[in-house]
Structure 1
């Protein structure tokens, strides 16, 4: 038996959307998990709803625990706070499993299908999406905060950004120049002039580096079907790799299928979904070309490997998401190495070069546009000890 003796959560004011979870066992092991958005709400869900039922449990019973945490009565559709909390717990349980047996999680899942996986750079800045009110749109007053302020770069000179990525070995990049034109969520129109302005970044990239880099377009679930169709059709001329999350309701399988059948650009869906059932419905409706999932939102490894099996059954390529935190990156990488149809792992070079390394003991090795397989047991990383001793750390524990 490997009894869970402590459930610990940790938050930092400078990264208010992130929360880390640690599970201690009577073996002396510590498993690490993470999730993103609504950190204080997730903290409450962990300690009030989950921890009382975890303490004293055998941490080896991962499937049984996952079923209990992802199928109660209310609050469990898609990536709710309850599912985000369950995701963090599940990742920590798999981290424990790998550590216990001295093997990486990709081996614990059944072994790797590849020794490395191609990465793409999401062109975010250093604090994009990590702080409350962090810069999401670029203004004329913004100045570069460092060499990898890539959101500013694609807004100012996407061609020069593409050149810098190619020089570092990247073969794929993701940008979101249309967000500025969505005046509200579910925006139902976009002018031809705004479409032209949004396409300018893609034109600059193709002019600068030709076909040496793939380009993904992120639409952040901001559009209704008519506006999304206009954008997608305009992007056909630039041979984009995919258009990601084009609709405001990404669980609407029929609307997404209708859009997909009216444009030649491949559709990617969706980091926002939780649980295998949502992906099953999209796949059955013919709604997507690329399947994206985020392990800190979808239910952790236990649910993610079921989603990966669906992707394999429908012969669809899989791409784990990370624009959030270092544990999400390691979790996606471990799944991407194992899953038969995985093709890409998302990274943010701005985060990798700065604050990710301030939080965890190890980072993935990126070489020539590929992430190499971690060899350490479990996730392959842990929280740095000094993170727990920071004066501003918000730590809450539930113990036996």
Structure 2
């Protein structure tokens, strides 16, 4: 038996969207999980609903715990606070499983399909998604035309100013794929219902600059952030056909409207990627049944953790769709996604943000992915291969809650 004897959550004011969960067992092991957005709500669910039931349970029964935490009544059909809480707990349980047996999580999942996986750089800055509260676009950084870069990896400013030079910088570091979102700023004026021709051409310009600077040596992904109506998304996706993007990600406002998404996919040659915003394997099955996407993206801190994640990966394999785990959130989710990407047969990319890898991720955890020439290497340490640094929980801005039993 490996009884859970402590459930601990940690938040810090500097990164208000992030919450970590540590699970301790009576054998002296600690597992680490993470979730993102609505951190206080996730924390409340963990302590008010999950912790009283978890304490005393056998931490080895990951599937049974996952089913209990992801199938109750209201709030569990999408990436809700309930499901994000379950995701954080599940990631921590898999970390425990690896540590218990002295093996990395990708081995605990059934073994790696590869020893490394290609990474792409999401061209965000140093605090794109984590330094402020808010849902949807309100939680993301908007770049003004005259905004100054705050460091060498302020890539969101860079892609709006000179995407070609940014692509050359990434190639010099070994990255051969990058993701940008120059259309976002044009959505607000119409609520995303349409995009004017002048704005469409302006949004295309960074893609054209990349092609002019580095040709076909760089794969390009277009992030649309669920900001657009189906008709506006169609106009954008058709325009992107000329620059050969690898995918257009989350193009429409409701990514669980699989009929509209499938119709968009039929109307454009641009491959459609979706969606980090979905929760649970059932949603992914419905999306794949509708033939709504070309590439499957998931976020392990939102979809139900590694237990649901490997089921989604199996669905992607069954439907012959490539898989791409998401990370523009936190270091633990990144490590969990990397383990799944190494394990899942159809995985093709692991998303990274070089700005956060080089800075504040390092201030929080003991281990991060090793990237060589754009390839993320398989971790070799037991479990996820990372833990919170000892000083995180004792920071002045930290909020720590514990339940013991």
TM-score normalised by length of structure 2: 0.98
Shift of 1:34: 0.1
Taking the aligned partners of 2:346 and 2:366, their CA distance within structure 1 comes to 29
1:184 touches 1:222 (CA, 8 Å); kept in 2?
Answer: no
State the partner residue of 2:348. 343
2:207 to 186, 202, 205: 202
Taking the aligned partners of 2:358 and 2:141, their CA distance within structure 1 comes to 20
- Look up the SS of the partner of 2:273 in the other structure: strand
The answer as to 2:97 corresponding to 1:97 is: yes
Taking the aligned partners of 2:154 and 2:230, their CA distance within structure 1 comes to 32
The answer as to 2:235 corresponding to 1:230 is: yes
Shift of 1:104: 0.3
Taking the aligned partners of 1:194 and 1:137, their CA distance within structure 2 comes to 16
- Look up the SS of the partner of 2:188 in the other structure: coil
1:63 touches 1:302 (CA, 8 Å); kept in 2?
Answer: yes
State the partner residue of 2:136. none
Taking the aligned partners of 2:205 and 2:142, their CA distance within structure 1 comes to 16
Shift of 1:187: 1.5
Assess, with a 3 A threshold, how the Cα gap between structure 1 residues 233 and 84 changes in structure 2: closer, same or farther.
same
Q: Judge which range, 73-82 or 182-191, deviates more.
A: 182-191
State the partner residue of 2:34. 34
State the partner residue of 1:112. 112
After superposition, the C-alpha distances for 1:80-135 in whole angstroms (9 at most, x for unaligned) are 00000000000000000000000000000000000000000000000001021666
Shift of 1:389: 1.7
After superposition, the C-alpha distances for 1:299-332 in whole angstroms (9 at most, x for unaligned) are 0000000000000000000000000000010000
State the partner residue of 2:127. 127
2:180 to 175, 179, 182: 175
1:192 to 185, 197, 201: 197
Taking the aligned partners of 1:187 and 1:153, their CA distance within structure 2 comes to 24
The answer as to 2:318 corresponding to 1:313 is: yes
- Please give the residue correspondences for 1:122-161 in structure 2 after superposition, counting only pairs within 5 Å: 122-132=122-132, 136-161=141-166
Q: Which ranges in structure 2 are unaligned for 5 or more consecutive residues?
A: 134-138
Shift of 1:185: 8.6
Q: Judge which range, 177-186 or 204-213, deviates more.
A: 177-186
- Look up the SS of the partner of 2:112 in the other structure: coil
Taking the aligned partners of 2:266 and 2:289, their CA distance within structure 1 comes to 14
State the partner residue of 2:361. 356
- Look up the SS of the partner of 1:396 in the other structure: strand
- Look up the SS of the partner of 1:217 in the other structure: strand
State the partner residue of 1:272. 277
TM-score normalised by length of structure 1: 0.99
Shift of 1:184: 6.4
Assess, with a 3 A threshold, how the Cα gap between structure 1 residues 80 and 302 changes in structure 2: closer, same or farther.
same
Taking the aligned partners of 2:147 and 2:199, their CA distance within structure 1 comes to 21
